[in-house]
Amino acid sequence: MPHYPDFREDVSLRKFNTFHINVSARYFTEINRFEQLQELISSGMLTKNPLLILGGGSNMLFTGNVKGIVAHIANKGIEVIDRNQDSVLVKVEAGENWHDFVTFCVENGFGGIENLSLIPGNVGSCPIQNIGAYGVEIKDTFQSLEAVDIQTGELKVYNRDECRFGYRDSIFKNELKGKVVIWTVTFRLSLNPVVHIEYGAIRQELEASGVENPTIKDVSKAVCVIRQSKLPDPDLLGNAGSFFKNPTVEILFANELKESFPNLIYYPQGENKVKLAAGWLIEQCGWKGFRDGYAGVHENQALVLVNYGNAAGADILTLAHKIQNSVYERFGVKLEMEVNVI
Q: Tell me the pLDDT of the chain averaged across its residues.
A: 93
Predicted TM-score (pTM) of the model is 0.86
pLDDT-derived band at 269 (thresholds 50, 70, 90) equals confident
Domain locations in the chain? Answer: 8-73, 78-190, 238-341
Other beta carbons within 10 Å of 339: 22
Q: How confident is the model at residue 1 (pLDDT cuts 50, 70, 90)?
A: very low
Q: What is the structure's pLDDT at 282?
A: 98
Cβ neighbours of residue 129 closer than 8 Å, sequence gap 6 or more: 59, 138, 168, 169, 170, 173, 338
pLDDT for residue 2 is more than 50: no
pLDDT of residue 90 exceeding 50: yes
Q: What is the pLDDT of residues 279-318, one digit of tens each?
A: 999 999 999 999 999 999 999 999 999 999 999 999 999 9
CATH topology of domain 8-73: 3.30.43
- Tell me, which fold does domain 238-341 have in CATH? 3.90.78
Active site residue 242: yes
What residues contact 142, with CB distance under 8 A and at least 6 apart?
127, 160, 163, 165, 185, 186, 187, 188
The proportion of the chain whose per-residue pLDDT surpasses 70, expressed as a percent, equals: 98
DSSP code string of 233-271: -TTTSEEEEE-BPPPEEEHHHHHHHHHH-TT--EEEEET
Res 30 pLDDT > 90 = yes
* CATH number corresponding to 78-190: 3.30.465.10
* CA distance linking residue 262 with residue 279, whole number of Å: 16
Work out the pLDDT band at 5, boundaries 50, 70, 90: low
C-alpha 291/C-alpha 13 separation (Å) is 24
**Host H or E run for residue 226:** helix 216-230
Selection from 218, 331, 236 nearest residue 282 by Cα: 331
Which of 125, 170, 220, 242 is an active site residue? 242
Catalytic residue among 87, 114, 168, 205: 168
260 catalytic residue (yes or no): no
* pLDDT (average), residues 93-112: 97
E strands of the chain, at which residues? Answer: 8-12, 24-31, 51-54, 60-61, 66-73, 78-83, 87-93, 132-133, 136-137, 142-149, 155-159, 180-190, 238-242, 248-250, 266-270, 273-276, 291-292, 295-297, 304-307, 340-341
Active site residue 58: no
Determine the Cα angle at 116 with ends 341 and 206, to 5°: 135
